[in-house]
Amino acid sequence: MTLLGQFALWVAFLIGSFGAVLSFSGRWQDRPDLERTVIRSVYALAAALLVASLSLWKGLFAHDFNIEYVAAYTSRNLPTYYIVSAFWAGQKGSLLFWAVVLACFSAVAQWITARRYADLLPYVAGVTNIVVVFFVLVMIFAANPFERLNFIPEDGRGLNPQLQNIGMVMHPPMLYLGYISVTIPFAFAIAALLRRRLDSGWIVAIRKWTLVSWVFLSIGIVLGMWWAYVELGWGGYWAWDPVENASFLPWLTMTAFLHSVMIQEKRGMLKRWNLSLIVATFLLSIFGTFITRSGVIASVHSFTQSNVGYFFLAFLLVAGVLSFTMLYTRWDELEPDAKLESMLSREAAFLFNNLALVGIAFSVLWGTLFPILSEAVRGTKITVGPPFFNRVNVPLGLFLLALTGIGPLIAWRKASARNLQRQFLLPVGFGLLVGVAVLIDGMRDMYPIMTIALGAFVLGTVVQEFYRGVRARHRMHGESVVPALFNLIARNRRRYGGYIVHVGILLMFIAFTGMAFRVDQEATLKPGESVEMQSPYGGTYKLTHLGVSQYNALNRVVSAATVQVDYDGKSLGVMKSEKRQHVDSFGRPTFEPSTEVGIRSGLREDLYIVYAGSVDGTEEAVYRFTINPLVWWVWFAGMVLVVGGILTMWPGGGGIADTRRTQAGYEATLVGAENA
């Protein structure tokens, strides 16, 4: 099968290159047969890479340990679902995964894009083909997943224990899907520039794709946080690691784009800015790949250091220079259709929102690269870790949170004093009330207080919008609350889906504040011994070590330490944390013992138990106990965020045509209503 896989890679390389050259030669214009050939090259490329992928999966499932990748990431006793995920567990497999998914996305884009954008599609094919060919080239020349060893090991090394978690089965593909699918909007943007079709049409063609990317990236990031929390055992979910930052950067610019694109749709403004954001998002997704795979910046969870990173750096530079040069040469053709009229307008609020998002992206990028800059300028190595990022980004994040509430409330074009009063009075009052309440409750940390108060303000704005919408439907159609709410969302999914996303964001901000009240304690306990811990809410946990049990599982020896948990004298049950010594099919240890955390998750706080090890090989266990407030809300907020995103991109329910009609109504001022 490796021969077939190798062959498929070469076929993909040739077909993709041919399609790209034909596309950019422009010879297909007025030649429908050649145009069809360009489009078909996309389908053929996807087919070739599917064959290559199936070949690798065949090797993984057949335990063909002569293939270096199979031997490095699987073993005979690896559970089946982890054999599936081994496909993207390593550098080489993940490159193939990236290429095949992008090829499939490109084929789907060609298949479903409306015919009115047919003149863009050959260029779109050219761009996506180039990106796919780049990945295929990297595989062929630097990281071939079909590379064979000159011997056949009895068994493979197995999958890293930390990757043997359901979160790691889902997190990388979701993140990749987010990274990869952003190539489609980028391809449409470049096609629009090449074709000089610089109206807002291409925006409509890519809006759904951008939302798809955003939703996948959001799911990928939240799943990554969840995996880090439940699997790595450090009790946190975000460490401002360069690889985490790399996934956050395109998310920020894409979020900025999803806001500013509304201004282009409604008012024909910000064309240059939107094109820049899409190009930047694509480049940042490649930058993330470069960071993960080059080893140029130390990271706790990057792939092994290799020369693959240089390929990505070169690609990043070439793609950046070409894209921005093209944008520059079309600059004059990207004149806005309308002008911004007032500082007190939704357009201005969205611009400030964009500034905040891009500013945070810059800040994260700056912090990620600052160690390199420092070493270049001063010759001194420094570390830029969580204390730095928290100090720099928390104020920016709070600014963004405030704008999350302000933006949707201000009228388009120009807000009057009456409009501002009508829209802001209740939410601002609610935010202040909550802020004062937490102060009276005894909270004294400035950032958590500000976060909670601003979160209440944003929640107030969203509730107010829903309330007014439901009330309007009730008045106009006589609907009761539930049908009115349902119809309100169903008929304007984009707007109300967006509000739900805002709720997800504010919940996440508030949940993050819980980490400021985290409590840690280490203890060494013999069976029957207890330790007590104070919860930040005032109660007392009593944690009693029951003992350690050992047993063999499919590919590991498990040592399970059990703890009886009582809270203020009331039993909460037994929790366990494990040590897992993974073994191959011959019973030989493959990795160092790994930790499985015990977590008791609640609305107020999580009790997080880590069995660190044993004293002198006895049942006397060393534990780390952690109380993490509000972590459950991070996952809930993530789900709300994703539900809102899916609702926003769901077909129908208030597309561009509806938006245009609404716009026409707002551009008019009725006779006798000028001063209203």
Partner 1 sequence: MTPTMTERREFFRQVALGGLALVGAGALPGQAAPQDAPGGGETGRLYNPNAVQQRAPTVGADNDALIMGVEKTLKCQCGCNLDIYTCRTTDFTCTTSPALHRDIVALRERGLTAEQIREDFVRQYGEQALMAPKAEGFNLAGYFVPGLVMLLGIGLLSMWILRRQRQVASVPSLAATEAVNISAVAGATPEELERLRRALSEVKD
Phi, psi of 549 (to 5 degrees): -110, 145
Q: Site for partner 1 (CB under 8 A): which residue of 114, 417, 476, 657? A: 476
194-253 binders of partner 1 (CB under 8 A): 232-234, 236, 239, 241
The structure tokens listed for 661 are 């009609």
Beta strand extents in 230-364 (DSSP E only): none
Question: Measured from the CB of residue 581, what is the shortest distance to partner 1 in angstroms?
Answer: 4
Buried b (16+ CB within 10 A) or exposed e, 308-327: bbebbeebbeebbeebeeeb
Answer yes or no whether residue 300 interacts with partner 1 by CB under 8 A: yes
333 versus 520: smaller Cβ distance to partner 1? 520
For residue 348, which of 406, 402, 395, 306 has the smallest C-alpha distance? Answer: 406
Answer yes or no whether residue 140 interacts with partner 1 by CB under 8 A: no
144 versus 354: smaller Cβ distance to partner 1? 354
CA distance 244 to 237: 10
Answer yes or no whether residue 526 interacts with partner 1 by CB under 8 A: yes
Q: Are 249 and 203 in contact (CB under 8 A)?
A: no
Answer yes or no whether residue 655 interacts with partner 1 by CB under 8 A: no
Answer yes or no whether residue 295 interacts with partner 1 by CB under 8 A: no
- CA-derived radius of gyration, the chain: 27
DSSP 130-165: HHHHHHHHHHHHT--TTPBPSS--SS-----GGG-S
Q: Are 521 and 627 in contact (CB under 8 A)?
A: no
367 versus 431: smaller Cβ distance to partner 1? 367
CB atoms within 10 A of CB 43: 18
Question: Measured from the CB of residue 595, what is the shortest distance to partner 1 in angstroms?
Answer: 7
Question: Measured from the CB of residue 599, what is the shortest distance to partner 1 in angstroms?
Answer: 15
Answer yes or no whether residue 142 interacts with partner 1 by CB under 8 A: no
Question: Measured from the CB of residue 668, what is the shortest distance to partner 1 in angstroms?
Answer: 5
Question: Measured from the CB of residue 94, what is the shortest distance to partner 1 in angstroms?
Answer: 21
Which H/E stretch holds residue 550? Answer: strand 540-553
Task: Return the ∠ at Cα 516 (arms to 512 and 522), rounded to 5°.
Answer: 115
61-100 binders of partner 1 (CB under 8 A): none
Answer yes or no whether residue 377 interacts with partner 1 by CB under 8 A: yes
Contacts of 195 (CB under 8 A, 6+ apart): 119, 120, 123
Stretch that binds partner 1, among 69-77, 321-329, 348-356, 637-645 (CB under 8 A): 348-356
366 versus 486: smaller Cβ distance to partner 1? 366
Question: Measured from the CB of residue 647, what is the shortest distance to partner 1 in angstroms?
Answer: 17
Q: Site for partner 1 (CB under 8 A): which residue of 613, 636, 650, 655? A: 613
Contacts of 264 (CB under 8 A, 6+ apart): 200, 203, 270, 271, 274
Answer yes or no whether residue 587 interacts with partner 1 by CB under 8 A: no
489-508 binders of partner 1 (CB under 8 A): 495
Identity at 77, one-letter amino acid code? N
445-474 binders of partner 1 (CB under 8 A): 468, 472
What is the size of the binding site for partner 1 (CB under 8 A)?
A: 101
Q: Site for partner 1 (CB under 8 A): which residue of 65, 98, 186, 412? A: 412
549-578 binders of partner 1 (CB under 8 A): 550, 557-559, 562, 564
Q: Site for partner 1 (CB under 8 A): which residue of 386, 429, 587, 602? A: 386
Stretch that binds partner 1, among 116-124, 201-209, 274-282, 664-672 (CB under 8 A): 664-672
Would you give the DSSP letter of residue 232?
I
Answer yes or no whether residue 657 interacts with partner 1 by CB under 8 A: no
Answer yes or no whether residue 376 interacts with partner 1 by CB under 8 A: no
Answer yes or no whether residue 337 interacts with partner 1 by CB under 8 A: no
Q: Site for partner 1 (CB under 8 A): which residue of 7, 57, 310, 388? A: 388
CB atoms within 10 A of CB 472: 12
Q: Site for partner 1 (CB under 8 A): which residue of 30, 115, 332, 339? A: 339
Answer yes or no whether residue 181 interacts with partner 1 by CB under 8 A: no
Give the Å distances, CA to CA, from 129 to 16, 117, 118: 5, 18, 17
Task: Return the ∠ at Cα 311 (arms to 188 and 71), rounded to 5°.
Answer: 110
476 versus 657: smaller Cβ distance to partner 1? 476
CA distance 270 to 337: 9
Task: Return the ∠ at Cα 196 (arms to 192 and 202), rounded to 5°.
Answer: 30
Question: Measured from the CB of residue 92, what is the shortest distance to partner 1 in angstroms?
Answer: 23
The structure tokens listed for 233 are 């055992």
Q: Are 15 and 41 in contact (CB under 8 A)?
A: yes
Answer yes or no whether residue 602 interacts with partner 1 by CB under 8 A: no
Q: Site for partner 1 (CB under 8 A): which residue of 142, 394, 420, 612? A: 612
Answer yes or no whether residue 618 interacts with partner 1 by CB under 8 A: yes
Stretch that binds partner 1, among 61-69, 169-177, 312-320, 366-374 (CB under 8 A): 366-374
Q: Are 629 and 514 in contact (CB under 8 A)?
A: yes
Distance between first and last Cα of the chain: 74
119 versus 619: smaller Cβ distance to partner 1? 619
541: Cα within 13 Å, side-chain hemisphere: 28
Answer yes or no whether residue 668 interacts with partner 1 by CB under 8 A: yes
Give the Å distances, CA to CA, from 271 to 208, 338, 524: 18, 11, 62
Contacts of 85 (CB under 8 A, 6+ apart): 159, 163, 168, 169, 172
Q: Site for partner 1 (CB under 8 A): which residue of 592, 603, 651, 652? A: 592
Stretch that binds partner 1, among 66-74, 125-133, 368-376, 643-651 (CB under 8 A): 368-376
Answer yes or no whether residue 381 interacts with partner 1 by CB under 8 A: yes
CA distance 672 to 309: 65
Answer yes or no whether residue 477 interacts with partner 1 by CB under 8 A: no
Buried b (16+ CB within 10 A) or exposed e, 173-184: bbbbbbbbbbbb
Q: Site for partner 1 (CB under 8 A): which residue of 201, 295, 593, 653? A: 593
199 versus 667: smaller Cβ distance to partner 1? 667
Answer yes or no whether residue 417 interacts with partner 1 by CB under 8 A: no
Answer yes or no whether residue 535 interacts with partner 1 by CB under 8 A: no
CA distance 662 to 346: 15
Question: Measured from the CB of residue 557, what is the shortest distance to partner 1 in angstroms?
Answer: 4
CA distance 352 to 350: 5
The structure tokens listed for 535 are 């919860």
603 versus 671: smaller Cβ distance to partner 1? 671
Stretch that binds partner 1, among 283-291, 296-304, 427-435, 451-459 (CB under 8 A): 296-304
CA distance 141 to 6: 11
Question: Measured from the CB of residue 131, what is the shortest distance to partner 1 in angstroms?
Answer: 30
Question: Measured from the CB of residue 329, what is the shortest distance to partner 1 in angstroms?
Answer: 23
Stretch that binds partner 1, among 41-49, 142-150, 185-193, 605-613 (CB under 8 A): 605-613
Answer yes or no whether residue 15 interacts with partner 1 by CB under 8 A: no
Stretch that binds partner 1, among 65-73, 434-442, 565-573, 619-627 (CB under 8 A): 619-627
What interhelical angle do 121-141 and 91-112 show, nearest 10? 170
